[in-house]
Amino acid sequence: MTVHHEQLLHEHFLHEQRHDWTLDEINALFALPFNDLMFQAQQVHRAHFDANAVQVSTLLSIKTGACPEDCKYCPQSGHYNTQLEKEKLLEIEKVVEQAKAAKEAGASRFCMGAAWRSPRDKDLLLVEEMVRQVKAVGLETCMTLGMVDGEQASRLATAGLDYYNHNLDTSPEFYGEIITTRTYSDRLETLSNVRDAGMKVCSGGILGMGEKAQDRSALLQQLAKLSPHPESVPINMLVKVPGTPLENVEDLDPIEFIRAIAVARIMMPQSHVRLSAGREQMNESTQALAFLAGANSIFYGDKLLTTGNPQVDRDRALFAKLGLHPEKIETCESEDTQAARLAQQAQQQVHAERVAELAVDASV
């Protein structure tokens, strides 16, 4: 290892939450010999996490299709013909049923996604009730509902939502090639609203959309600028869906994908880095390298919203082969947390009749 490489590693340990990464520094990490990069990422990972624990989430689409956004990677966009059948907002009872099944399968967090530009008021009331009831199952909760303003974020936080997912997707420079219906600043504003409301941030990006290496560096730079860093950073490999504009884009070299996982781990040492979409297309060796590079979160289950995901039995077999185990979450309540939960339960009664009325009318 050269003196320069040792200096980089030393700086990472001294600055656990750096927000001033330069593109030159990030590019230097990407340019490291693969073994050196993996070694550094693994050292950083072990300094902050159990190296063999993986946080396990399950993702459910609570409202599918007919999204007005034009994200070129997304089969749920109403702009493209992907043969995806649109579905209205799921009933609360079905969501809770899926949450219970996810917990039994070993998930500690339940993520719910709706194909909206932004939630409507009547939909938000139902979503708030979903959060309350899923939390009662004993799971952490996460939502991705599109853009939210300050008031909407505050309502979700009051309902008890733990995480809000809103990806930056790619670099500011490449963003316009992928999405035109909302701006990069729109995304950053939503993340700011989420943070201000007191929720944890889940934000990452998608690799393999035809971007350049510099765009991958710039994406990670933007994520690391967030203060504090996102608690969860999903790194997705593009799933090429027929009917979307990116269905024929050139595949990203898996080694370049692993490098991005490792650099994300080094730059955001206390964040959970999630090996997210694209695992269905990855062999066991690629996934093992991702865990070695510092990935310590996955989605468990058969689907990620609308695209395939390795089945639970396959994941369990891979965990056993690699000696990995699901990360445990603390479920004991403090007195303050218990008081807050009881107060929320009291509020539920106030909303109950309104929620029941809206459940009948919920539509796409």
Cβ-contact 266, 11 below 8 angstroms: no
- Residue 141, strand partner residues: 110
For 269-328, the pLDDT digits (tens) are 999 999 987 788 889 999 999 999 999 998 875 544 444 445 778 888 899 999 999 888
Sequence letter at residue 263: V
Q: What is the pTM of this model?
A: 0.81
Active-site annotation, residues: 67, 71, 74, 111, 142, 202, 274
| 202 has binding-site annotation | yes
Residue 1's pLDDT is what? 46
Cα distance between residue 42 and residue 79, in whole Å:
42
Residue 105's pLDDT is what? 79
For 187-221, the pLDDT digits (tens) are 999 999 999 999 999 999 999 999 999 999 999 99
| 332 has binding-site annotation | no
Read off the DSSP letter of residue 301: S
Tell me the backbone φ, ψ of residue 307, rounded to 5 degrees. Answer: -110, 160
Q: How far is CA 296 from CA 75, 174, 333, in A?
A: 27, 27, 25
126 CB burial (10 A radius; 0-12, 13-18, 19+): buried
Going by C-alpha positions, the residue among 73, 30, 36 that lies closest to residue 253 is: 30
Q: What is the C-alpha end-to-end distance of the chain, expressed in Å? A: 56
| 67 has binding-site annotation | yes
| 274 has binding-site annotation | yes
Say which range, 6-10, 47-51, 66-70, 99-103, has the weakest mean pLDDT: 6-10
For 61-77, the pLDDT digits (tens) are 887 656 777 777 887 76
User: Which residues, 6+ apart, have CB-to-CB distance to 129 below 8 Å?
Assistant: 92, 159, 348, 351, 355
**pLDDT at residue 346 above 70?**
no
Q: Of the ranges 24-28, 115-119, 359-363, which is most confident?
A: 24-28
Placement of tokens 């070695």 in the chain = 292
Cα distance between residue 200 and residue 283, in whole Å:
31
| 314 has binding-site annotation | no
C-alpha 143: how far from chain center: 9
Sequence letter at residue 125: L
For 118-145, the pLDDT digits (tens) are 888 888 988 999 999 999 989 999 998 9
